[in-house]
Amino acid sequence: MTDLWTAVTPRWPLPSHDYWSTPFAESLLQHLDLFPDASILDIASGHGIPAFYLAEQVGRRGQVLALDLSRRQVESARAIQGDALPWLKFECLDMRALPPYLPCFDRITGNLSVMFFRPNRFEVIQGLLEHLKPGGQLVLTFPSLGTFDSLWRRIDQEMAVRGLLAERRKLEAYLAERPSAAEARGWLERLHLGRIAVTESPLKVASGAGQAFLHHPLLRGGFLDDAYECFEDQGLANEVMTKVSEDMESLTPLMAQRCVMSGWKL
């Protein structure tokens, strides 16, 4: 990391109230070698964490193209942006199949991105590298294997008590598919990147019990939805998940694993 971070006081800082995207973005920035005037492709950009921050750091002679598959997310980011940072562009594109007309960039970043590469994560990263300049850096973050293990154990336990064999098999398949730090390193090695770094750090997520847990702004939008998808009968799903949500003693601490993977194109 350069002195750029201490030399500039950002007007677009990472939001302090975001307890999920911001901690992962902080991990990304710790590994990203950023410089003024750089061109950056930011994938799975969401509401712009850290795209706004990156754009301010590279300056008006730089370029940040932020992509997300969700049109709603893109429109939200554009609304936040207004007329600011005109060298930052938010576009609705599928990062799993980037159009060939896209140029190559000095850096490719993706905060909380790897879980959206399913089912062919390696091939998606391989495609991203086609748009990275030689000597450029790729930095991606994701919640790695071990994230919310206490939750998955408690759900599996409740399924087992109720004899829900089909649901347990679906949950097992979902858990087996989660990426690990070791897998991430393997992808980068297979792609012959240099200066590979893959690190993990724990992130504690707080929640109340019952409905506060089931409607947690982080959990309900993703991780709990994955559990609900294991059930054909959503009434049964609600019954099981309500029981799980009331057992905070088994769920606490609720820990995520922040993983950041970085490599340089030779």
Q: Which domains does the chain have, with CATH numbers?
A: 16-143 (3.40.50.150), 149-174+207-251 (no CATH)
pLDDT number for residue 10: 74
Cα distances (Å, whole numbers) of residue 222 to 7, 15, 115, 217, 244:
37, 20, 11, 9, 17
| pLDDT of 1 higher than 50 | no
Rg of the chain over all Cα atoms, to the nearest angstrom: 20
Percent of the chain predicted with pLDDT > 70 = 97
pLDDT number for residue 9: 63
Percent of the chain predicted with pLDDT > 90 = 92
Range of lowest pLDDT (3-7, 72-76, 187-191): 3-7
pLDDT digits (tens, 9 = 90+) for 5-50: 444 567 999 999 999 999 999 999 999 999 999 999 999 999 999 9
pLDDT number for residue 138: 98
| pLDDT of 83 higher than 80 | yes
Q: Is 1 exposed, middle or buried (0-12, 13-18, 19+ CB in 10 A)?
A: exposed
Q: How confident is the model at residue 249 (pLDDT cuts 50, 70, 90)?
A: very high
E strands in the chain: 39-43, 63-68, 88-92, 105-110, 132-143, 194-205, 254-264
DSSP type of residue 14 = P
Residue 189 has, within 13 A of its CA and on its CB side, a CA count of: 8
For residues 85, 50, 63, 130, the Cα torsion angle rounded to the nearest 10 degrees is -160
The string over 19-49, giving b where at least 16 C-beta atoms fall within 10 Å of a residue's C-beta and e elsewhere, is: ebbbbbbbbbbebbbbeeebbbbbbbbbbbb
Average pLDDT of 137-144?
A: 98
pLDDT number for residue 45: 97
pLDDT number for residue 220: 82
pLDDT number for residue 8: 53
Average pLDDT of 212-223?
A: 89
Q: Cβ(219)–Cβ(207) under 8 Å?
A: yes
Q: How confident is the model at residue 2 (pLDDT cuts 50, 70, 90)?
A: very low
| pLDDT of 104 higher than 60 | yes
Average pLDDT of 50-54?
A: 98
